[in-house]
Amino acid sequence: MVTCPQGHQSDSDDYCDTCGLQIQAAGTTPAAGRRPSEAASPSAPPAASSGGAGGAVPAVPAEPCPVCQTPRAGQFCELCGHSFAGGAAPARGAVTGGGTRWEAVTAADRAYYEQVIAQGGPDAGSIAFPPYCPERSFRMAGEQVRIGRESKARGIRPEIDLTGPPSDPGVSHLHAVLLAQPDGSWTLVDPGSANGTYVNGKPVTVNVPVPVGLGDRIHLGAWTVITIREGTP
């Protein structure tokens, strides 16, 4: 349990469950398992530039999210997950060009967990590998498939919901997003998760799409692995 800048008690340590205010920005300890040297952070807004006789020119305000009015920091809203892509919607993506249905299968990866714990962190000693974590399959369909943990306070209900049980404490409420492409393929975007995302062992840069395909493995949180597989018809 942590306290947000407004004084609310929150089970989540990234955003307040009551008011939705970002907690880590106020200087609280980041989630366990974070690798500071590898985790990417959202792009900072442009600094104000100096003008002519009028002196400093104020920076142009960031575009607000049309859903929750949060200032834009990338392709996706960091609060509600809204996509700023606009009218050029990609193909639906439930089936690839070759007629193959894709699914995302979640599980616990002991080797990845040990790597995360070895990196250290303020809460690393309190995170235990789950004794039982069954595989769960999620169909990849629609324009986007969000990955994270449900937050009723923030109205986030990801299509790949890792709330659990067991619940991986290193997974953000909106951790990553799978985006369908016009040719039926998929890309993955990390909109600014607290602990970063890895595709086949390589870190994903914030707001930079990474192609993913059958057999690819996505690691996030303290022990979660998502494998892209061919689904059943």
Residue pLDDT, tens place only, 103-151: 999 999 999 999 999 988 767 778 999 999 999 999 999 999 999 999 8
Residue 167 has which token pair?
């619940």
pTM of this structure: 0.62
Q: Could you give the CA distance from residue 22 to residue 202 in angstroms, rounded to a whole number?
A: 27
Residue 99's pLDDT is 61
Residue 209 has which token pair?
């799409």
Instruction: Give the Å distances, CA to CA, from 191 to 73, 127, 207.
Output: 9, 25, 5
Amino acid at 2: V
Sign of CA dihedral 103, 104, 110, 114: positive
Residue 62's pLDDT is 73
Residue 231's pLDDT is 83
Among 212, 210, 211, 214, residue whose Cα is nearest residue 231:
214
CA-based radius of gyration for the chain: 19
List, in order of start, the domains of the chain with CATH numbers. Answer: 1-30 (no CATH), 102-230 (2.60.200.20)
Residue 52 clears pLDDT 70, i.e. is over it: no
- Give pLDDT tens digits for 187-207: 999 999 999 999 999 999 999
